[in-house]
Amino acid sequence: MNDPGLTVGSKVLVVDDKKENLDILTHILEGEGYEVSFAMEGEKAIQIASVYLPDLILLDVMMPGIDGFETCRRIKVLTELRDIPIIFVTGKADVSDILRAFQVGAIDYVTKPIRHEELCARVKTHLQLRRLMTIRDELIAQMRQQNIRLEKMSVVNEEKLAQSEKMSHLGELIGELTHELSTPLGISTTALSTLSDNTQEISTNIQSDKLSKSKLIKFLDVTAENYDIVLSNLNYAIQLINSFKKIVVGEFNPNSSKLELANFLHDILHILRPKLKHMPHQIKVECPENISLNVQAGALSQVLINLINNALIHAFEETTAGEVAIKASTQAEKLHLSVADNGRGIGDENLEHIFDKYFTSKADEGGSGLGLFIVKKIVTESLGGEISCQSSPAGSCFEVIIPLTSP
């Protein structure tokens, strides 16, 4: 699972009373790009964790002083540490010890001798899950703050209207992202809940001396199956967030940067996928793999997303399945980018006004009339290019021409 922005650089605290175990674990984790700290006894681990605030703790069971179970229990009662995921690393593979680990607050366990791939997979899974929850909360908080700021705007002028339009666009994307994330995160939570329920069932069987070998094997099989479910759903969530970060976060960055256009268009389609799931329309892309340009990525993404949304909203009848085609080519050091639809076209009486400020064909539905006006403003002023539109009863085509290198 490729997620350099989510787990690499995460802080891991390793707790084990044997130096050789610390060396092995540190070598494995640092090789995966994690920042590692360590302690050789429980009380010292709690002290270090309170200052170091790790993203995850690997905890041995058998240690001098307080053992791993007691160490975990004490960590979980501290407000600043209680949410840190703890994975037990133990040579004690008895079911009763595994159950006790879960009961004191551990989220997972790994048995000794350490299996490199298993350890890395479990560490990465729980770091990803924690980071995804954090990103989701941050996005929601940012959106709330932006909404508060917009509500306080009392004087509306052209620049503030443009910013409001932009924030409305971002707010819609964030809302769709949050909704889309709820599915893989919900499935992951359900899978982890299933593990918890099975753990409780095994615990009950142990206490009543009814644990059979077949039940134990079934428990271990269910555990493996649910881990596969968690990993696959987290992988999808990570891909969605990475695309969102590349495109949307760039809208606030005025600096030019080099981008590969084919990958850039793929990311744009990825963040529009939640919207398209509720529509009968399709988007097709024709873009050579070798087109690269130096441009304000945020400005270009806002132009493309606005043009695609404009087609999805205005081009088609409600029950008609339409197609939006995006094509890219280069000529004389310039990028030619078109967004075309096979919809109903734009009437001649409207075509000459579509880039005018406040012009909209859907004023009665709340249209601001700023979408295409802002698109033209960005193309001409921020990207140093030009935009035009041709239309017929068979559909409309917007063509954007910008230099491959920002002016």
Helix 116-151 and helix 158-207, axial crossing angle in degrees, nearest 10 = 140
Q: How far apart are CA 301 and CA 68, in angstroms?
A: 50
Amino acid letter, residue 272: L
Peptide bond into 54 cis (omega under 30): no
Q: Give the pLDDT confidence score for residue 74 in this predicted structure.
A: 96
CATH topology for 253-403 is Heat Shock Protein 90 (3.30.565)
Indicate the pTM of the whole model: 0.51
The low-confidence residues of the chain, meaning pLDDT below 70, are 1-6, 93, 147, 149-184, 186-187, 190, 232-233, 235-236, 239-240, 242-254, 274, 358-370, 407
- What are the boundaries of each domain within the chain? 1-250, 253-403
Reduced to 3 states, what is the DSSP secondary structure of residue 341? strand
Rg of the chain taking only CA atoms, in angstroms: 27
Q: Tokens for 264? A: 């850039």
Question: Residue 316: how many CB atoms within 10 A of its CB?
Answer: 21
Model pLDDT for residues 218-258, shown as the tens digit of each residue: 777 777 777 777 776 676 677 667 656 655 555 545 677 89
Q: Running DSSP on this structure, what letter comes out for residue 114? A: P
Q: Running DSSP on this structure, what letter comes out for residue 405? A: B
What is the C-alpha end-to-end distance of the chain, expressed in Å? 38
Multiple choice CATH, 1-250, 3.40.640.10, 3.30.565.10, 3.40.47.10, 3.40.50.2300:
3.40.50.2300
Alpha helices in 152-212 (DSSP H): 158-207
Pairing relationship of beta strands 334-341 and 292-295 according to DSSP bridges: unpaired
Instruction: Tell me the residue length of the chain.
Output: 407
Q: Tokens for 224? A: 């493996």
Model pLDDT for residues 152-177, shown as the tens digit of each residue: 654 445 555 555 555 555 555 666 66
Cβ-Cβ contacts under 8 Å for 136 (sequence gap 6 or more): 178, 181, 185
The DSSP secondary structure of 274-315, one letter per residue, reads HHHTTSS-EEEEE--TT-EEEE-HHHHHHHHHHHHHHHHHHS
Contact 128, 5 (CB under 8 A): no
Choose among 175, 167, 168: nearest CA to 136: 175
Question: Residue 105: how many CB atoms within 10 A of its CB?
Answer: 17
Which secondary structure element, helix H or strand E, spans residue 349, and what is its range? Answer: helix 348-351
